[in-house]
A and B are shown apart, each in its own frame.
Chain A
């Protein structure tokens, strides 16, 4: 991504379009209420994040999840919302080097944190090796789960390298080995509706330099 995160995106254009339509049509009760100052305005808070190396300062309704902050406020729509309840992994991003579900954490809890999204891993001109491997091995069909799968996959290899045990580690007193069985278990938090699993596993094995 070459332009800054304040740049107008396709989403802004879409939003303007929708607002225009609402003005042209009749004003519903919801819109009328918006015009009045709300005495019980939901509490807001400021938070500073470092997203893909760039500092961003946001003023948010405290209820905003990190996922919504990234998508709706920083305008990085690569990270996807699948279930919004920690069940699918589509919203996976890397925060301070660890993968998490951005839908189950509040943006205001991340003051000073470094967030890496799919946009920060690589660019179309210079793909991250995991992005390139997903392309090479057809690790997707519709692509909706893909940003989460790739962020997760990158972090999984780091977790294995760091020796973190998993459910399939035979002897937890020893570092976990870099095997496809380990990779598959650790990817269970990323669901793919299109069932691209076996190709994802091949992409990961390729990047890790092991036999799929």
Chain B
């Protein structure tokens, strides 16, 4: 790990201003992704700004309906919140399907959204990787791609976004609330928060330099049956091969987003209009233009079957 100086932030705006002004500065929240990558020198910050202790660890009701989740709320606390369990169960389900009990006790809302890919070549510093080292190439293209993306990818990068929580937030139409170094705030719809790789896979979100997440807002509850189905190589403590987050209404209409298949939670609103026609129609539309590789083409079939199973469960 490279040496770094460390400070505790005194306010969110102060943290944002410092992060923008100091070259090599990074926020640290739970540390479960950043430290992992710092040990491998994939991340090499020279200054850490600890954003714990700023009072951003609360979940509050929004006037007129909805919930505002502080950026520092731990994954365990978010999953266990009574309001989330009752009105946004898909989010609880997604959270408890991720990582381990120990990790969820540390992992935060903002850190989870910003966790980096689990592409094995991103982690292997001996291999070329455009995300880790722009312009160096993509080892995954000619390599082992079983875990990697089938849609939304580019010739520069085929990595997936590994978060389970983000997939549920996408289906719930959450928005990410931030503060910028100049003190202004904005709300970024989750659909626009994560960006596709294109030619610049090292850019992963819409955040500007120094911009800090302060909360995530959920719109008022929409009812329906909430399901998160995660398919993985073992029954617990593994990243998704394919996951499906769904909120299905009694009339069969609903919202569906997928994890494990793309560089961001994958949701196509037109595909949802096809729910009454069955899982094949939905999957065909979701994956129109997919570019699977030999090792991961199975994800297309797996995704369709997982959608089918979720639809059956919602009807039952």
Contact = CB atoms under 8 A, between A and B. Distances in A.
A104 interface: yes
Contact of A189 (B80, B96, B103): B103
Given A63-B1, A163-B80, A106 B101 contact: no
B99 to A, nearest CB: 7
Interface residues of A, number: 41
Contacts of B97: 167
Given A42-B3, A45-B6, A165 B100 contact: no
Interface in B170-220: none
B52 A156 contact: no
A185 B106 contact: no
Given A105-B106, A189-B237, A167 B35 contact: no
Given A45-B6, A172-B89, A99 B105 contact: yes
A100 interface: yes
Contacts of A187: 101
Interface in A195-212: none
Contacts of A86: 32, 36, 100, 102-103
A186 interface: yes
Contacts of B30: 104-105
Contacts of B236: 167, 185, 188
A189 B99 contact: yes
Interface string A51-63: 0000000000111
Interface in B1-58: 1, 3-6, 28, 30-32, 35-36, 39, 48, 50, 52
Contacts of B92: 165, 172
Given A85-B36, A169-B96, A104 B31 contact: yes
Given A173-B86, A186-B101, A101 B96 contact: no
Contacts of B315: none
A62 B99 CA distance: 26
A61 B105 contact: no
Interface string A66-110: 000000000000000000111001001000001111001110110
Nearest to B40: A85
Nearest to B228: A167
Contacts of A146: none
A105 B29 CA distance: 10
Contact of A100 (B5, B48, B105): B105
A167 B101 CA distance: 10
B132 interface: no
A166 B93 CA distance: 8
Given A89-B102, A165-B92, A189-B100, A62 B32 contact: no
B253 interface: no
B5 A43 contact: yes
Interface of B: 1, 3-6, 28, 30-32, 35-36, 39, 48, 50, 52, 76, 79-80, 85-86, 89, 92-93, 96-97, 99-103, 105-106, 235-237
Given A61-B3, A86-B103, 17 more contacts: A42-B3, A62-B3, A99-B102, A100-B102, A100-B106, A101-B106, A105-B106, A106-B28, A166-B96, A167-B93, A172-B92, A172-B93, A173-B86, A188-B237, A189-B100, A189-B102, A189-B237
13 contacts: A43-B5, A45-B6, A85-B39, A86-B102, A89-B102, A100-B105, A105-B106, A152-B102, A164-B76, A165-B85, A166-B96, A187-B101, A188-B236
10 closest residue pairs by CB, A with B: A189-B100, A188-B236, A42-B3, A188-B237, A62-B6, A98-B105, A164-B80, A43-B5, A167-B96, A104-B32
Interface of A: 40, 42-43, 45, 61-63, 65, 84-86, 89, 92, 98-101, 104-106, 108-109, 152, 155-156, 159, 162-167, 169, 172-173, 185-190
